[in-house]
Structure 1
Amino acid sequence: MTMLDDFMVRATLAGLGVVLAAAPLGCFVVWRRMAFFGAATAHAAVLGVALSLALSLSVFVGVLAVSLLMAVTVSLLSDRGYAMDTLLGVMAHSSLAFGLVAVSFLSDVRIDLMAYLFGDILAVGRTDLAIIWTGSLLVLGLTLWRWQSLLLATVSTEMAHAEGIDPSRERLILTVALAIVVAVAIKVVGVLLIAALLIIPAASARPFSHTPERMALIAAMIGAVSVLGGMWGSWHLNTPTGASIVCVAAILFVALNTLARSLPRRHAGV
């Protein structure tokens, strides 16, 4: 019996793989005030699940394709003068509604919709684990490669242009990375909780960070603690694992922000 034969080991590794990629991206989501964008991309994943089941494709492939389409479409339309919050509102709720309707037509396919909405980390298999870690490492590598350019485009579009950096291109890279995270995270925390895993650890880390790199590192640590704490709580309290992970992250957010009030105010300069 190998270590990966234990479903709890696979689940823990899956959760840690997701937070590894979600932590640095979550920082950019917080800095750019893109919380709704992350939620909108996640909502589109339901339509991807329906299409992948209807076409007998891998759920990962379907979710990734629809999430990428959603992210790229919003990014391109926002450059043409459309209000970002309006676009996100229309596309997020529309894609979620179309996805739920499409799932209802799959009468010959057995589907546990709750598993996709709230995650089913305990059912992660070896193939799922390989996909999660491959996607997470890809996103982490992309983020590290474009880190300075993404930071500069986040701080000031004028400074980015002066350095020969196209802010629109960097935003597109960020949205593609977010779409990949959504695709790999759907098995862990589900569609409705993905945005929370992106935002809460980063928001918790901000009061204790004086550099962007430190904030990303602390966010990853908080995310890892959230996964381990959520797994432990779910096992002992018999609660939904994905939701338990987010609950631990939320508790840490409250505790850390309360603690930060008694410390000198420092945050990442972005």
Structure 2
Amino acid sequence: MILDDFLVRAALAGAGVACAAGPLGCFVVWRRMAYFGDAASHAAILGVALALAADVPVFGGVLLAAAAMAAGAAKLAGRSWAMDTLLGVAAHSALAVGLVTAALLPGVRLDLETYLFGDILAVGRGDLLVIWGAAAGVSALVAWRWRGLIASTLNADLAAAEEHDPELERLVLALALALLVAAGIKVVGALLITAMLVIPAAAARSFAKTPEAMAVQAAGIGMAAAGLGLALAWHADAPAGPSIVVAATVILALSMSLRGLLDRA
């Protein structure tokens, strides 16, 4: 069967994460929420440690930890500290606590490199089901609240006038982000998942004329980066997760250069 090939499974896993990360990453870029993504993704390591300690599926632990971090940050932002300060503290504290907790777990040997940088080449059939299920959940959430998310991104008063609740939209983004982190940790790892949110969306922004076009283009760029990154990892014997991010960065650089040439023409 085709799924017996580990490269096919890896490509499908990368495509699944890219499909979900593209549209969601657009809102991260529009709202300038890169630190928000870092906070949720860094909390994933704490979720891994707690899941292993409680002997429950890692996906569930990561999802709960990332959701708690994202929802908490969304609720507290702007109430006491500046957003970047709050998220910076939350992100690095969660990562540090997770690493220390993992080190103190008795009788548990945790492969931190896998969770920090991903291990897409080790994705199995069960992992594919989880990744594509989570990607479908993220896509459904974003599609369901698309108009409300767009309105609240543009202006909170505009969203209220159109009978959208900005607070609800923030919580929807938090849940979608948590789902993506839980799915993406196997592919690119906790330290690189934010790159898959931000870089394809930033590249798509150079040419997209509508929010919908930017979301579709970001998903396509993410899928292209996943394929190119896997090819680079295969031929250069490089780590797959970082190779995918390198490929996305190259695409971003090329898109910015092309945009500059078109603007000067």
TM normalised by structure 2 equals 0.97
Counterparts of 2:230 and 2:88, CA distance in 1? 33
Counterparts of 2:78 and 2:89, CA distance in 1? 17
Counterparts of 1:215 and 1:19, CA distance in 2? 13
Deviation at 1:145, TM superposition (A): 1.1
> Within the alignment, does 1:159 sit opposite 2:158 as a pair?
yes
> Within the alignment, does 1:87 sit opposite 2:70 as a pair?
no
Matches within 5 A, 1:103-142: 103-142=102-141
Deviation at 1:81, TM superposition (A): 4.2
- Give the corresponding residue for 1:268: none
| Per-residue CA distance 1:125-182 (angstroms, 9 max, x = gap) | 1111100000000110111111111001101111111111111111111111011100
- Give the corresponding residue for 2:24: 25
Matches within 5 A, 1:58-207: 58-78=57-77, 80-207=79-206
Matches within 5 A, 1:243-262: 243-262=242-261
SS at 1:191's partner residue? coil
TM normalised by structure 1 equals 0.95
SS at 2:135's partner residue? helix
Q: Which runs of 5+ in 2 are unaligned?
A: none
Counterparts of 1:27 and 1:95, CA distance in 2? 25
Counterparts of 1:264 and 1:172, CA distance in 2? 38
Counterparts of 2:139 and 2:27, CA distance in 1? 13
Counterparts of 1:58 and 1:79, CA distance in 2? 34
Matches within 5 A, 1:232-243: 232-243=231-242
SS at 1:263's partner residue? helix
- Give the corresponding residue for 1:215: 214
SS at 1:209's partner residue? coil
| Per-residue CA distance 1:13-58 (angstroms, 9 max, x = gap) | 0000000000000000000000111011101101001001111111
| Per-residue CA distance 1:209-254 (angstroms, 9 max, x = gap) | 1100111111111111100000111011100000000000001111
1:223 maps to a residue whose letter is G
1:106 maps to a residue whose letter is L
Q: Which runs of 5+ in 1 are unaligned?
A: 266-270
Deviation at 1:82, TM superposition (A): 3.8
1:111 maps to a residue whose letter is L
Counterparts of 2:67 and 2:60, CA distance in 1? 10
Counterparts of 2:238 and 2:77, CA distance in 1? 40
Deviation at 1:109, TM superposition (A): 1.4
Counterparts of 2:80 and 2:173, CA distance in 1? 20
166 and 79 in structure 1: CA distance in 2 versus 1, 3 angstrom threshold: farther
Counterparts of 2:4 and 2:37, CA distance in 1? 33
Counterparts of 1:90 and 1:110, CA distance in 2? 28
Name the count of aligned residue pairs.
264
SS at 1:189's partner residue? coil
Question: In angstroms, what is the RMSD of aligned CA positions?
Answer: 1.1
Counterparts of 1:233 and 1:74, CA distance in 2? 36
Identity %: 54
